[in-house]
Homo-oligomer: A and B are copies of this chain.
């Protein structure tokens, strides 16, 4: 179970961790009901302050992505809350940005090209 963090990012680590878990759950990389690493174990694994992991877990539980059971550990919630939430957020953000690009005079064809380019880049990375 690997979470990728960028220490230099302008986004706080706990939020990167939150998104990382949500994303993996959305993609099915994490099974429903699967047990997550303990706060302390994950903190040590990532070389990060336990408080930071704790905060991410609290946010995840608050949003119904995971369930923490005192004395037992943290588990992904059974219902796939993460999946639909994640997709919705991404598509909503894209909608806003595309509209803004349109307002700024970007041609529709440019965006179609951009989409293709992004998917090609992604293909190459996985080679």
Residue ranges of A at the interface with B (Cβ–Cβ < 8 Å): 7-8, 23, 26-27, 67, 69, 72, 86-87, 90-91, 93-95, 97-106, 108, 110-112, 114-119, 121-122
Q: Are A86 and B104 in contact (CB under 8 A)?
A: yes
Distance in angstroms from A13 CB to nearest chain B CB is: 9
Q: Which of B7, B69, B112 interacts with A115 by CB under 8 Å?
A: B112
Given contacts A114-B95, A115-B111, A115-B115, whether A104 and B90 have CB atoms under 8 Å apart is yes
Complex Cα gap A104–B86 (Å): 8
Distance in angstroms from A2 CB to nearest chain B CB is: 14
Q: Are B98 and A115 in contact (CB under 8 A)?
A: yes
